[in-house]
Structure 1
Amino acid sequence: MSKVSIMIADDHCLMRQGLKQILELDDELVVIGQASDGNEAIKKGIEKAPDVILLDINMPKINGIEALRRLKESGIKSKIIILTIHDDKEYLEETIKIGADGYVLKDADSDTLVTAIKEVNDGKIYIQQSLTTLLIKGYKTEDEYNENLKKESLTKREFDVIKLIAEGLNNREIGERLCISEKTVKNHVSNIFKKLNVTDRIQAAIFAFKNNIKRI
């Protein structure tokens, strides 16, 4: 099995070297590049096309949020995890809106980071558990009564679909898991969005987290 290739973008050399040593203790991971500022992160990210990029927010020349935006606009297929000291809701929401695949704090343990890397590499969205409540606060509905009405409006199959959306699966993967066509999944997703009054999969996933809709 090929290893998951990683690029680390952080302006602190010791941080980059320390992360490299920690990550490469796992036989499934390999660090193929490092960047010390936002410009270098964009340039090397595009050139090396790693499976996963670990991107700090506080970097010289171009900050991590702008680097994330430009990397996404470039069309690279690399998954991008924000690895930062900031446990601020605005940073979290902004980076997810731009297209970050994960968000992990620098004080997380190594197992959390390794798990995040492997999950986003598999196509899932990873938000460190301690940050989930922060994100939920940004999507509060008017009251609990309306929230319950929305939840009760979902059919059993729509419950199955939203559980898998919350796991980060795309329509094709959901169809394979539930043994239904991708077109049928797309119709279910559209109905879920309408019933919950949300506009994207992140908001649907947050609804699932907030309302304790468990994984299948």
Structure 2
Amino acid sequence: MKCLFIKKPSLLRDGIAELLKRRFSDSQITCREDFSFQEAKEASLIIIETSEALTCKEQLETIQSEGVKIVLWVEDLDKKQAAPLFKLGLYGYLYYNIDEETLIQALRFVLDGKRYVSPILGGMLIEVYCDQDKKQMRPPLELLSRREWEVLQLLVKGYSNIKIADALFLSDKTVKNYVSSILHKLNVPDRTNAVLKALKKQWLYL
């Protein structure tokens, strides 16, 4: 793996870079303060902070379309600032207070071609997706069973397992099984990412 970490110099950046070097020992980890299109094209993974990403949105979109995995590093929960970057559909959106193990798991998830969003950013992403024009829903009905679509719709509405069980007259255990099946079929790590995927792809709406 060739990882490019684009962030202003700080103890946090240095600490994360050292962590990545330890946990991805066969990889090349490079830190930069500014974005370089040519260098970015040669990376397999880019982690970039929000302020720098805002200056090169179009270039990031181009690079990602060519197969480079891009992860946004978020330190300021400012929806207005981050919304244009959320709409790019990058592979990852990580909040800076993420713990070490979750960070490594998230990056492995991204490197496998999957997407990861820190739960604290999930609400902001949902708002961004819901602010977009609501076109006709087009869920791939064959992807989930009828009951799984019903459960996913309630997850989108923010229902807990207990509330879903009450609404659909199911046991809590049955709901847990449906949720696990949904996560597996959608290839996502958790409920937050399942909801975001359904909204982003306009399968369901709030």
- Calculate the TM-score normalised by the size of structure 2: 0.61
Unmatched runs of 5 consecutive residues or more in structure 2: 132-136, 150-181, 190-196
> Out of 18, 42, 56, which is 1:67 matched to?
56
Match of 1:111 in 2: 101
Quote the offset at 1:31 in angstroms.
3.6
Distance in 2, matches of 1:66 and 1:206, equals 31
CA displacement, residues 59-107 of structure 1 (integer Å, 9 cap, x when unaligned): xxxx312324213224542100001202233344321322421111112
Instruction: Give the % identical residues.
Output: 19
Match of 1:57 in 2: 50
Quote the offset at 1:51 in angstroms.
1.8
Matched, 1:84 2:81: no
**Superposition CA RMSD, Å:** 3.5
Instruction: Point out which structure has higher relative CO (alpha carbons under 8 A, 6+ apart).
Output: 2
Match of 2:39 in 1: 44
Distance in 1, matches of 2:2 and 2:202, equals 27
Q: Give the secondary structure class of the aligned counterpart of 1:159.
A: coil
Where in structure 2 are the equivalents of 1:104-183 lying within 5 Å?
Answer: 104-140=94-130, 155=141, 157-159=142-144, 163=182, 164-165=185-186, 167=188
Quote the offset at 1:154 in angstroms.
7.8
Unmatched runs of 5 consecutive residues or more in structure 1: 142-149, 169-199, 211-216
Q: How many residues are treated as equivalent by the alignment?
A: 157
Distance in 1, matches of 2:203 and 2:29, equals 33
6-15 or 159-168, which moves further after superposition? 159-168
Distance in 2, matches of 1:14 and 1:206, equals 42
Please say if residues 86 and 128 of structure 2, whose CA atoms lie closer than 8 Å, have aligned partners that are also in contact. no
Match of 1:18 in 2: 15
Q: Give the secondary structure class of the aligned counterpart of 2:56.
A: helix
Distance in 1, matches of 2:110 and 2:14, equals 22
Q: Give the secondary structure class of the aligned counterpart of 1:117.
A: helix
Matched, 1:96 2:96: no
**Structure 1 residues 100 and 108 mapped into 2: Cα distance closer, same or farther (>3 Å)?**
same
